[in-house]
Amino acid sequence: MKTSIEISNLKNGLRVVAVPMRERKSVSVGIWVGVGGRDEEPRLSGISHFLEHMVFKGTAARTADQIKQEVEGVGGSLNAFTSEEYTCFLAKSASRHFEGVFDVLADMVRNASLKDEDIKKERTVIMEEIKMTQDQPSQLVGELLAEIVWPGHPLGRPLAGTLETVGRLSREDLTGYKNRFYEPGLITVVAAGDVDRKKLIQMTQKRFGGDAKRNGKKWDLFKKRQKGPDIKLFHKSTEQTHLELALHALPKAHPDEYALDILSVILGGNMSSRLFNEVREERGLAYDIGSSVRKFRETGAFIVSAGVDNHKLNEALRVIMKELEKIASKPVEADELKRAKEFYLGQMELGLESAMNQMLWAGETLVCLGRCLTPEEVIRKAGRVTAEDLRRVARGLFRDQALNLAVVGPVKPGSEKDFSRILSFSGH
């Protein structure tokens, strides 16, 4: 799977990336802005996400209805999302309509009108979104976990903000934030599919070339060191208890990141994983259980998530801790390691058959790493991971002082002591 990624830079610092896939008859395009939840000061919490919503509400040249009609009226689609480290505005269309759709997307990002009446209406929509998260234990538990994994830092705050912060955001806040961060040095345009690099550069130059490069942003790096396990409980009358167990882990581009990814596959990445088999299949303690890895510029987390029987939370936690301890003490067998690697790389390869996923891959790696990571590089590095690498990484990360537990459900007051006794590795 040889991927061709062509990167160019405009004079103002804006980057343009083309990922030609000649057999396609469509183009997926993203305008990436290198600003997200981690760049917000406390009083502006949620502003990146709010601004993402507002970009769809109209420009000087187009109303919100015209934006939708000009894209959907030619069979295309529009979307956007906000993360901790970037905001992405994306579209997909047939090749013959690409320039028109790109013009709409660029107009939205550059020229959003941010009218007071639109802000007032969208504020209500976002507040309902926040309430919906609070009503869904599987999502709420993730926000509670982030608070204790990255305490006192923007990474620990909810991306949508709170009812209080969103309720206070003004037009001046939104325009000031947009003027500060939506600048060429923080913008990357990526297109994958039936796309020509020279044509893409011309289109981007026409719509973004006149802007001047400014100073960019400063990184507020997370530096706190955890001294012991932390637990956060939220009592809610639910039919199932939701838990997330996290350990501080590795940042992006760490030499051991692929070992950790494969470790996560073995522990909870699919239906063949150890946690799925032990917690669900063998003991019937949960319907949903899995593990994942979160990576940021300077920090990260390894997370186990589960929805368990209200009366079997302690038992499920003990089993999870036992499985983490086991993989840190005993080397993974060769066939299990091979299956995990094949799953990890196979999922990547299957995903990258899509032009949209190619665009997302190239955009995220360039925005976050400063370069486009190639699938060939991942295949090479993941292929080198050994059973001893997995055990070494597990032994280094699976430590008592790095443990964090968030629980949402009908937990009893004072249960922290019970959980504290469970949250301990006996030693590797």
Residues 239 and 187 grouped into a single domain = no
For position 216, what pLDDT does the model report?
65
The pairing of strands 6-9 and 403-409 is: unpaired
The C-alpha atoms of residue 249 and residue 228 are separated, in whole angstroms, by: 15
Q: What is the pLDDT along the chain (428 residues), one digit of tens a residue?
A: 566 899 999 999 999 999 999 899 999 999 999 999 999 999 999 999 999 999 999 999 999 999 999 999 999 999 999 999 999 999 999 999 999 999 999 999 999 999 999 999 999 999 999 999 999 999 999 999 999 999 999 999 999 999 999 999 999 999 999 999 999 999 999 999 999 999 999 999 999 987 676 656 888 999 988 888 999 999 999 999 999 999 999 999 999 999 999 999 999 999 999 999 999 999 999 999 999 999 999 999 999 999 999 999 999 999 999 999 999 999 999 999 999 999 999 999 999 999 999 999 999 999 999 999 899 999 999 999 999 999 999 999 999 999 999 999 999 888 888 899 999 997 54
The C-alpha atoms of residue 246 and residue 404 are separated, in whole angstroms, by: 5
Q: pTM of the entire structure? A: 0.94
Contacting residues for 71 by C-beta, under 8 A, at least 6 apart: 77, 78, 91, 93, 101, 104
Cβ–Cβ under 8 Å, residues 149 and 293: no
H or E element in which residue 26 lies: strand 26-33
Residues 132 and 235 grouped into a single domain = no
For position 210, what pLDDT does the model report?
78
For position 418, what pLDDT does the model report?
87
For position 414, what pLDDT does the model report?
84
Cβ–Cβ under 8 Å, residues 402 and 425: no
- What's at 47, amino acid-wise? I
- What's at 360, amino acid-wise? L
For position 284, what pLDDT does the model report?
93
- The structure tokens listed for 407 are 């629980």
> Which of 40, 52, 85, 278 does the annotation list as catalytic?
52
Residues 166 and 255 grouped into a single domain = no
The C-alpha atoms of residue 381 and residue 276 are separated, in whole angstroms, by: 27
Residues 250 and 363 grouped into a single domain = yes
Look-up: residue for tokens 């109303």? 63
Tell me the helix, strand and coil percentages in the chain, rounded to 5.
50, 20, 30
Residues 199 and 244 grouped into a single domain = no
Is residue 310 in a domain? Answer: yes
Judge whether 52 counts as a catalytic residue: yes
Q: Is 24 helix (H, G, I), strand (E, B) or coil?
A: coil
Burial of 220 from C-beta contacts in 10 A (0-12 / 13-18 / 19+): middle
Residues 27 and 155 grouped into a single domain = yes
How many CB atoms within 10 Å of residue 425?
A: 17
The pairing of strands 403-409 and 230-235 is: parallel
How many CB atoms within 10 Å of residue 73?
A: 11
The C-alpha atoms of residue 242 and residue 62 are separated, in whole angstroms, by: 44
Residue 159 phi, psi dihedral angles, 5° rounding: -60, -35
Residues 183 and 303 grouped into a single domain = no
Is residue 213 in a domain? Answer: no
Residues 334 and 187 grouped into a single domain = no
DSSP symbols for 146-207: HHHHSTTSGGGS-TT--HHHHHH--HHHHHHHHHHHSSGGGEEEEEEES--HHHHHHHHHHH
Using the 3D structure, point to which of 149, 178, 208 is the last residue of a domain.
208
- The structure tokens listed for 184 are 């060429």
The region, left, alpha or beta by phi > 0 then psi within -120 to 50, assigned to residue 414 is left
Count the domains in the chain. 2
Domain that includes residue 359, residue range? 230-422
Using the 3D structure, point to which of 208, 240, 264 is the last residue of a domain.
208
Residues 417 and 363 grouped into a single domain = yes
What is the CATH number for 330? 3.30.830.10
The C-alpha atoms of residue 190 and residue 105 are separated, in whole angstroms, by: 12
For position 428, what pLDDT does the model report?
46
Using the 3D structure, point to which of 177, 208, 239 is the last residue of a domain.
208
Nearest alpha-carbon partner for 86 in 12, 15, 8? 15
Residues 186 and 46 grouped into a single domain = yes
Is residue 134 in a domain? Answer: yes
